[in-house]
């Protein structure tokens, strides 16, 4: 799997619970920030797509697996990969590492997004530039024809 984007951040106090570890739902806030930053860095404007009414990209499935506690002030590295891609949907995989002192796997999360026409609320094709960008994160087919 090829890495699509790398994002770093620090876990804010408001993302943690009374036990001092990240509240499970707030993990997706950090993943979503990485997703938005990835598209922005590629010159793709989610805002333009959404405000123009061209498409919406609701999340239809998400999951996370925690490997170790993520605490307030932890520096995180979030590696973003494309897991699957179709003409109307994509799944992103986020691998989160705590960075201090060495990178340690902290969590793995996925989000599945479906492209819809926001007026009709039916599936719609992803913009070609979105497919091109997300395809960069997929492994190439190395099988040779016999």
Catalytic machinery residues: 17
Among 96, 73, 56, 60, smallest CA distance to 21 is for 73
HSE toward the beta carbon, residue 78, CA cutoff 13 A = 26
Pairwise CA distance, residues 79 & 31, whole Å:
9
Reported in sequence order, the residue ranges of 19-139 that DSSP labels E, i.e. its strands, are 59-66, 75-85, 89-98, 104-114, 116-117, 122-123
Pairwise CA distance, residues 97 & 109, whole Å:
12
Contact 5/80 with Cβ under 8 angstroms?
Answer: yes
């Amino acid at each position: 799997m090829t890495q699509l984007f790398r994002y770093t951040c620090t876990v804010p106090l408001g993302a943690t619970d009374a036990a001092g570890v990240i509240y499970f739902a707030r993990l997706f806030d950090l993943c979503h920030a990485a997703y938005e930053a990835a598209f922005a860095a590629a010159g793709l404007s989610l805002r333009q797509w959404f405000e123009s009414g061209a498409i919406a990209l609701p999340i239809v499935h998400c999951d996370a697996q925690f490997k170790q506690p993520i605490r307030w002030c932890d520096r995180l590295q979030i590696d973003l990969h494309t897991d699957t891609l179709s003409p109307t949907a994509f799944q992103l995989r986020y691998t989160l590492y705590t960075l201090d002192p060495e990178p340690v796997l902290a969590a793995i999360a996925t989000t599945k997004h479906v492209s819809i026409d926001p007026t009709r609320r039916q599936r719609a094709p992803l913009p070609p530039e979105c497919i091109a960008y997300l395809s960069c994160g997929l492994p190439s087919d190395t099988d040779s024809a016999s």
